[in-house]
Amino acid sequence: MSIVAIGCNHRSTPLAVLERMTIPADDIPKALSDLGSADNLSEVVVLSTCNRVEIYAYAERFHGGYQDIREFIGRYAGLAPEDIADHLYALHDAEAVRHLFAVTAGLDSAVVGEHEILGQVRTAWDQSSEHGTIGSVLGPLFRHALETGKRARTDTAIGRGIASVSQAAVALASKHLDGLDGRPVLVLGAGEMAEGTVKSLAAAGTSDIFVANRTWENAVRLAEVCGGTAVGLEQVPDALVAVEMLVTTTGAQDIIFDHVDIADVIGRRVGRELVIVDVAVPRDVDPAAADLDGVTLLDMDDIGAFVDQQMVTRTRVIGNVETIVNEEVSRYQAATSAREVAPLVSQLRSRGSEIADAELARFAAKFADLEETEREAVEAMARGIVNKLLHEPTVRLKNAAGHARGDRLAESLRDLFDL
């Protein structure tokens, strides 16, 4: 049995391919059902964000589990398994644990140290719990991962400064527009990313924030967060003529603004530039819109490059977080081994008691003439000898739990005592 982590992210996969593999929230239950019924997977968690699609599983066999997950991702993306193989990373056991802890600590995000990933990992855990695809292995693993992410942000400065994709998007747009003070902005979407965006815009001095969403109540709710104005979807074309920036954050699976839509808007702006920041995966805006005069189109690739430039001075902080991740991986392994050792120790003690009881029963006839106190003394001595013999092996096994030596000792005990 192995813990496996298989997936792709903004570093391993071009955005055009990653957006095809992204699993929206509405499809997660079906994905969990499909993966949970696979031949080689016992427990499954799906983590799908704008930067990554990862499947964590407890697999009967690593290679069989890898095959099941790769075929699922290929079917979902409409790609042949061999076409996605080069983009997938596959990790197992300690490396899979280390990767999840690094992800939750913010080390593997497009914006190192971002806060959103903590909530996204918790949501993935909750969804798997709700649909019955998580159990005694992945449950403790994800709980420990969240503890690691919180510790990384409490004990280091990894979460300070630009600490989210939405913050990075606003900072990059501000750079292109020479500041956002007083500039009107339209935000399309009303989810977690949109909420982070409007808060970042307000903090950057944007006075007029318009929010559009397919659900009117959600648009109104988010507009109230930033003191902005909700607009209906039918008003979006007119709003785009008035604002200086559009930020799209929806979970739509198809392009919302094609090349013609943006061209029509630009034609009505009479030479005024429009900055579009598309942080949606899959993308909301046709990439061909970038070729239009008067349009600056920024997407997740541009945000990633911008963040990389900002992160040069944070190398020391990253090193501190990596140390925390390594410590927590060791702590998790020790705790896991201790849980696995406890039943083995119990079995060893039971085997010793069985042997003592069998020998006492075999000599029962010879003890018939003994007084009750004498018979009790003999029985106590027999059990005491067994306990003495087993004490040192069990102590050493517990002390070595979580390390390679502990695994070797456990395997030796199983072989020697047929446990």
Is 60 exceeded by the pLDDT of residue 412? yes
Beta strands in 49-184 (DSSP E): 52-59, 89-92
What percent of the chain is modeled with pLDDT above 70?
97
Q: What is the mean pLDDT of residues 27-43?
A: 93
pLDDT for 268 equals 92
Quick one: 165-304 is in which CATH superfamily? NAD(P)-binding Rossmann-like Domain (3.40.50.720)
Task: Name residues whose C-beta falls within 8 Å of residue 352's C-beta, 6 or more positions apart in sequence.
Answer: 386, 387, 389, 390
pLDDT, tens digit (0-9, with 9 covering 90-100), for 234-259: 999 999 999 999 999 998 888 999 99
Beta strands in 10-99 (DSSP E): 41-48, 52-59, 89-92
* Residue scoring higher pLDDT (285 or 16): 285
pLDDT, tens digit (0-9, with 9 covering 90-100), for 115-162: 889 999 999 999 999 999 999 899 999 999 999 999 999 999 887 767
What residues does CATH 3.30.460.30 cover in the chain? Answer: 2-160
The candidate with the shortest Cα–Cα distance to 189, out of 158, 223, 155, is 223
Average pLDDT, the chain: 88
Quote the CA–CA distance of 84 and 71 in Å, as a whole number. Answer: 10
Quote the CA–CA distance of 6 and 57 in Å, as a whole number. Answer: 9
What are the CB-based long-range contacts (under 8 Å, 24+) for 343-352? 344/397, 344/410, 344/413, 344/414, 344/419, 345/394, 345/397, 345/398, 347/417, 347/419, 348/390, 348/393, 348/394, 348/413, 348/417, 348/419, 349/390, 349/394, 351/417, 351/419, 352/386, 352/387, 352/389, 352/390
Q: What is the mean pLDDT of residues 357-376?
A: 84
pLDDT range class, residue 33, cuts 50, 70, 90 = very high
* Residue scoring higher pLDDT (1 or 267): 267
Neighbours of 95 (CB within 10 A): 15
Burial (CB count within 10 angstroms: exposed 0-12, middle 13-18, buried 19+), residue 37: exposed
pLDDT, tens digit (0-9, with 9 covering 90-100), for 51-98: 899 999 999 888 889 999 999 998 988 888 777 888 899 998 899 999
Is 90 exceeded by the pLDDT of residue 293? yes
The candidate with the shortest Cα–Cα distance to 66, out of 128, 10, 5, is 5
* Residue scoring higher pLDDT (273 or 419): 273
* Residue scoring higher pLDDT (110 or 35): 35
* Residue scoring higher pLDDT (202 or 310): 202
pLDDT, tens digit (0-9, with 9 covering 90-100), for 177-225: 888 888 999 999 998 889 989 988 988 888 799 999 999 999 999 999 8
pLDDT for 404 equals 65
Task: Name residues whose C-beta falls within 8 Å of residue 108's C-beta, 6 or more positions apart in sequence.
Answer: 9, 11, 52, 99, 102
pLDDT for 83 equals 78
Which CATH number is associated with domain 2-160?
3.30.460.30
pLDDT, tens digit (0-9, with 9 covering 90-100), for 378-403: 888 888 888 888 888 887 777 776 56
Burial state string for 205-238 with b = 16 or more CB within 10 A and e = fewer than 16: ebebbbbbbeeeebbeebbeebebbbbeeeebee
pLDDT for 221 equals 93
pLDDT for 363 equals 84
Quote the CA–CA distance of 401 and 406 in Å, as a whole number. Answer: 5
Of 4, 35, 50, 265, which is the active-site residue?
A: 50
Active site annotation includes 226: no
What residues does CATH 3.40.50.720 cover in the chain? Answer: 165-304
pLDDT for 6 equals 94
